[in-house]
Amino acid sequence: MEIKKYIDEEFDNMLRALDRLIRIPSIGGEPGPDAPFGEAARQALEEVLHIASEMGFSVSHYKNMVGIIDFYEEGFPDIGILCHADVVPAGGNWIHDPYRATLDGDNIYGRGAIDDKGPLVSVLYAMQYLKTFGNPAHNIRLIVGTDEERGSQDLAQ
């Protein structure tokens, strides 16, 4: 299937997945049990991994800091893609609810729609396209951080 047709057919699912992530105000916070960068960052990571699991990918995490989504269950990854699920505070002047993915014309509004929850969902659906219509010879690994907006201490681990 042509990629453009696939995107058109999956757009509503992509928007729902994005909304699931944007609803979580994943601003870094105080460390807690099993939440090294705050409870909201951990919740966003859990939701990303849940979405990826629903799509049939192998998922794991490292100390609730970094999510790992693999195309294949086994084998060392040959291609790595880095995204993050944390955001900065929304601030004022929003024309739509900052914690919903709102389609308005050709634009999607919501905290993280551009940086970086929208690109994260795009990568997941690109991987899903390859899973459905291709058979990559190499393992693809999506690495999802939870502390990019505050200095990427998650990756230092």
Residues with catalytic function? 86, 148
* Cα radius of gyration (the chain): 16
Q: Dihedral (C-alpha) 148, 99, 58, 9: value to the nearest 10 degrees?
A: -120
Query: Do residues 27 and 86 touch, judged by C-beta distance below 8 A?
Result: yes
What angle separates helix 117-133 from helix 39-54, to the nearest 10 degrees? 20
